Structure 1
């Protein structure tokens, strides 16, 4: 099923043929620069199953993204229920991960804007959050571009305190804040 289409992208259900390029995406050290580590084949397969499970449970999730022009799988953009313990969870998170060949083309912004519209208009979300390591300027830039507002900084509880990835920035947007 195709959930969203933009001028250049389709955000759709995952298919089995996405799994191998998804494994490659998560094993790419450059793509995973702002994560504690790359993911093994088994870790990616577990992540894949959890994405499918979230769609079954919630009717939304991290959508597989393909370029309309050539039907190439380039990663994911979408929503996730964040339930780890924090003062802003549980919440709906918007996130993205694209292969490096897709960077710098505006795909993350284009897809995330479409997701926010869909989330507020069709899924009835009131609030959406996003966060990333403070040093991840490209993702923070996307958050700004899609209209999210910086809220605070925090130490991510799933990242070691001495890691340069521990300190995170938190962004938020509400349905009321959208036109």
Structure 2
């Protein structure tokens, strides 16, 4: 993600509907977004993976991001790498998250060499759960995030399961 993505990302993070199932459900300020943005950029240097900007093909505007990250907020799943995404509302329901996440999964397995990738979502976040299922992920467990008590689902896919999907997965 580039510096010019900070302002559109701030707008996405300030939308209560976007943030409803993220963390404790609260919106993020510009300062919180900037700190998160800095962390995303640092992860590339430290781990060789991080957040990918997702842009609209039609307009070039920032739709959001898809990222590979270590889910330190849920210690019981560690060691693990999580794929996650956040899109602005105008991009919901259009297959954008699924398409972008497929590319990031490919990157995680083929370029980074990961053996397994998980994804975590609030138990009531049905749209994200559908994306995870479309990606070929299977549910491993339900649990609670220790810092804020929100119930979450943990889904996973291995490199072998991903390879077995081939290119025939539907969007």
**Unmatched segments (≥5 aa) in structure 2:** 164-171
* RMSD (Å), alpha carbons: 1.2
Partner of 1:3: none
How many residue pairs match? The answer is 161
Report whether the alignment pairs 1:140 with 2:140: no
Deviations 1:112-139 (A, max 9, x none): 1111111111110101011111010000
2:73 & 2:124 partners in 1: Cα distance? 22
Match for 2:7 among 20, 34, 48? 20
Choose between structure 1 and 2: higher helix proportion: 2
Map 1:1-179; keep pairs closer than 5 Å.
Answer: 14-35=1-22, 36=24, 37-84=26-73, 86-160=75-149, 166-179=150-163
- Say which SS state the counterpart of residue 94 (structure 2) adopts: coil
Deviations 1:17-65 (A, max 9, x none): 1111110000001111112210011111100111111111112101111
Is the CA contact (8 Å cut-off) linking 1:84 and 1:90 kept in structure 2? no
Is the CA contact (8 Å cut-off) linking 1:155 and 1:167 kept in structure 2? yes
Shift of 1:85: 5.2
- Say which SS state the counterpart of residue 151 (structure 1) adopts: strand
**Unmatched segments (≥5 aa) in structure 1:** 1-13, 161-165
- Say which SS state the counterpart of residue 119 (structure 2) adopts: strand
Choose between structure 1 and 2: higher strand proportion: 1
